[in-house]
Amino acid sequence: MMLPKQTFFFLCLLADWSWANEAHRRATNETVEYMKFLETRTFFRKRQDNQRLIHSLEAKLKNANFSSGNVTLQTNNIQSLVFKLTCDFSGLTINSSYLEKAQTRHIMQFPTELTQRACKAREAPQELRLICIYFDMKYFFQDDDNSLLLNDNILGASLVNHSVSSLRQGINISFWHNESLERYDLTCVFWKEGAGKASWGAWSTAGCETILISSYQVLCHCDHLTYFAVLMKLSSTEISMELLAPLTYISIVGCSLSTVASLLTILLHFYSRRILGCFPRTFNLGIIEHSSPSLTFQPVACVAMAALLHYSLLSCLTWMAIEGFNLYLLLVRVYNIYIQRYILKLCAFGWGFPGFVVLLLLLWKSSAYGRYEIQIKTSQENDANSQNTSICWIKSMEIQWVFVMGYAGVTSLFNLVILIWAVKMLHGLHCREKKWESRICRDITTVLGLSVLLGVTWSLPFFSFSDFLLPQLFLSTIFNSLYGFFLFLWFCAQKRHSDLEAETSSSLQMIRTGLQSNHSPLRSPQPSSLTCSASPVPPYGTSHQEGGVEEDMAHPET
């Protein structure tokens, strides 16, 4: 049976339409998979390959076949849009709200003269194609200085087979940020291929004008098509390259000594426990400060590292406050200071409260942690030659002010008050004694030891302004990097003092036992320099019940 010509023709059209749709779907899926490949394999490639990869994506979008007026392809960090334009182009506005996976807000506005030059050409095409590519990651566009970009956003646009430049009306690109940008110097830039040394390009300001609409919005007005971004520089004083090298060496040496000293302190602590069968009653269990490594991990790993560093810092500060509270009990309350399960409660608070704070921040605003840029000024005076280094840390300045500076400020203020109180009591004790000049050296050592134990040196960063900046940088780096080493010296001094007291008490107990066994009349012994030189801060938190042996010897009638 022969099919009618109309039916056969209809089936042919249907097959051709189905084949065209299948080819379009296959090409679309291939492009999306390539975009996923770009965003998931970025950290395993060399920078020299970025130019080839970006141009490959542009070629795929250029040759894409689609029947509608535009097509949108999206992955987590890359969004691609292709528009069909004609010579009667009346302008176009692209809003990020149209993109489901856009992480930040932005708008691109194209003027009516965008297609005029292409349409005036001798061989003007009937159809023009505008390609827009948005990157929420700056890996493909890292320049030699590792510049800091607003939101890590790069917005690109190009007219296929046509160069667009020197526009009279210009292109408007608006960027928004969810935090105030007042502390930054913002500059609109575009990616200039071949201008970099180690990278395949560099950021340039030619042809772009920066307009700060508000503290949360930046408008870039540019006269050409390419990849655009907003360059950010801290308005505050930058760290110079000449200062960075010695500060880095001091940090490495100090943190290395502190790490070794902290391990020795832990080993000596457990060795003393095994030999003597007792715990030191005051032992700083805080985590020492670690130098933040400059990492370029994937976002999840960097967030985890930043949260871990924040937790370590808060734990260290919390245990310093606990040391101050323990000293308050010994100096101020003195009596009735017994607290049931005291050590267990201290451990729960010292390690649990910082963990609660960090977990709350992760649940409330996980974007607060991530890669934090630090600006470094080169030997040249031109700010444009500054370089950046990055660490995994807190990105939100509001959180830094509250949960870093505020937390450290309250802890330092509390411990400083306790230290002043201890020095006052020490001075009052000496005023009631004779020949107190012989104890000045030991008292200075005690005050310095308490200063380290209470973390007073952590208050130095609050003097990071004006003429205090340079000495503060070096003093803070030296003292805080050697924090673990100072704690080791304090532990050894207190351990030696405790052993001397234990030996003296044992000798007095033996003398008393011998005198009682011989039934000889008791005489008040001459006070020993060891037993009478009571420190205002009992080592390891000794309570007032101790020292009963000396009290009995001083009052034989009891």
The model's pLDDT over 44-87, given as tens digits with 9 standing for 90+, comes to 456 667 888 899 999 888 887 766 678 888 888 899 999 888 88
Q: Is the pLDDT of residue 457 over 60?
A: yes
Predicted confidence (pLDDT) per residue in 5-42, tens digit: 555 555 555 555 554 556 567 777 888 888 888 887 65
What pLDDT is attached to residue 41? 62
* Neighbour-count burial of 375, counting CB atoms closer than 10 A to its CB (0-12 exposed, 13-18 middle, 19+ buried): buried
In the chain, the percentage of residues whose pLDDT exceeds 90 is: 18
Q: What is the mean pLDDT of residues 493-506?
A: 79
Q: Is the pLDDT of residue 242 over 50?
A: yes
Same fold, 14-234 and 241-269+299-377+387-506: no
Q: What is the mean pLDDT of residues 477-504?
A: 83
H or E element at residue 463: none
- Which range of 3-17, 199-213, 330-344, 456-470 scores highest in mean pLDDT? It is 199-213
Q: Is the pLDDT of residue 516 over 70?
A: no
CATH for the stretch 241-269+299-377+387-506 = 1.20.1070.10
Q: Is the pLDDT of residue 219 over 90?
A: yes
Query: Closest Cα to residue 150, out of 80, 247, 216?
Result: 216
Tell me, what amino acid is at 17?
W
Predicted confidence (pLDDT) per residue in 125-163, tens digit: 567 889 999 998 888 888 887 788 888 899 999 998 888
Q: What are phi and psi of 7, to 5 degrees?
A: -65, -45
Least confident window among 92-106, 182-196, 394-408, 537-551: 537-551
Domain boundaries, the chain: 14-234, 241-269+299-377+387-506
Q: What is the mean pLDDT of residues 233-258?
A: 78
What pLDDT is attached to residue 7? 59
Least confident window among 168-177, 238-247, 529-538: 529-538
What pLDDT is attached to residue 466? 56
Least confident window among 133-142, 262-271, 501-510: 501-510
DSSP output for 31-54:
HHHHHHHHHHSGGGS-GGGHHHHH
The contacts found for 74-77 with CB under 8 angstroms, 24 or more apart, are 74/32, 74/99, 74/100, 74/101, 75/32, 75/35, 75/36, 75/39, 75/101, 76/39, 76/101, 76/136, 77/39, 77/103, 77/135, 77/136, 77/137
What pLDDT is attached to residue 327? 85
Least confident window among 24-28, 289-293, 327-331, 496-500: 289-293
What pLDDT is attached to residue 434? 56
pLDDT band at 344 (very low <50, low <70, confident <90, very high): very high
What pLDDT is attached to residue 357? 94
85, 126 contact by CB (below 8 A): no
Q: What is the mean pLDDT of residues 273-287?
A: 42
What pLDDT is attached to residue 23? 59
pLDDT band at 542 (very low <50, low <70, confident <90, very high): very low
Say which residue, 148 or 221, is predicted with more confidence. 221
What pLDDT is attached to residue 277? 44
Q: Is the pLDDT of residue 380 over 60?
A: no
Q: What are phi and psi of 380, to 5 degrees?
A: -80, 150
CATH for the stretch 14-234 = 2.60.220.50
> For residue 151, what is the DSSP state?
G
CA atoms within 13 A on the CB side of 107: 12
Q: Is the pLDDT of residue 408 over 80?
A: yes
Q: What is the mean pLDDT of residues 162-188?
A: 87
Say which residue, 296 or 128, is predicted with more confidence. 128
What pLDDT is attached to residue 407? 92
Distance CA 192, CA 481 (A): 42
